[in-house]
Amino acid sequence: MKTTVTRVPLRLANSHLVRGKKTIIVDTGDPGFSHGLYRAMQREGINRSDISLIFITHGHIDHYGSVFALKKALDVPVAVHRLDQIYLEKGTQAPLYPLNRPAALLKRVGQGMRVRHNNFKADIIVDDHLDLLRFGVEGFILPTPGHTLGSASLILPDSCAITGDLIIRRHFFRGPAEACVFLHDKEKYHNSVNLLKLCGVKKIYPGHGASIDMEPVYAREERIRRRSTQTKYDQR
């Protein structure tokens, strides 16, 4: 089964259309951006009846804001990790943990954002490994916490993955790849990057900006690991 990925920029955040025998929508953008996805589906020759699942990578509104309208229009299940499902249900943001001063300023604006909806419940709760063959796509979803505790990624058989905001590019999404400036748990972030490596992921489609080659990311992680090991050794 051939699998293709189409990036759909929706203002600042990306949605992705993952197409096999059926099509999975990964993330939906801010509220009011479902029309951008419909246009992309039309360009790609994807009918509404081809959509089998909406997968939300994490509980931030720029990634799930249009899920309510899309679920109502498409009548398909929504999958999200258990630890972030509450933010979709309440229409709130998962906690933002800034790594620097500019991010702290952004938090003041973003943390209190809300989106209105009526009694939303996710249909599929991700706890561990979720195989996607029943949704017509080769691949699986795995938890990849770090950015939020309930972040998850879609792993594809061609050494690619869609990873939400686990890793993004600096300088307005055009520079080198690194951890997002909002990071809930650094240790879990490093473990998640290592998990992608163990899964054989060589390229990722992030939640913002263009695709990212993972080799430099893995190399940087190895340098960090070595420095940490050396520091612990020196402190003995």
Rounded Cα distance, 152 and 125, in Å: 11
Confidence (pLDDT) at 106 = 67
Beta bridge partners of 117: none
Neighbours of 116 (CB within 10 A): 7
For strand 212-213 and strand 203-206, is the pairing parallel, antiparallel, or unpaired? antiparallel
Under the banding of pLDDT at 50, 70 and 90, the label for residue 112 is low
Residues 149-158 have pLDDT tens digits of 999 999 999 9
> pTM for the whole thing?
0.91
* In the predicted structure, residue 99 carries a pLDDT above the cut 90: no
Q: Which stretches of the chain are DSSP H helices?
A: 34-44, 61-64, 67-74, 85-90, 101-110, 170-173, 186-198, 215-234
Q: Is the dihedral of CA 25, 28, 34, 36 positive or negative?
A: negative
Q: Which domain holds residue 155?
A: 4-234
Rounded Cα distance, 117 and 228, in Å: 45
The CATH number linked to 12 is: 3.60.15.10
Q: How many domains does the chain have?
A: 1
Residues 29-71 have pLDDT tens digits of 999 999 999 999 999 999 999 999 999 999 999 999 999 999 9
Q: What integer is the mean pLDDT of 97-111?
A: 67
Neighbours of 103 (CB within 10 A): 16
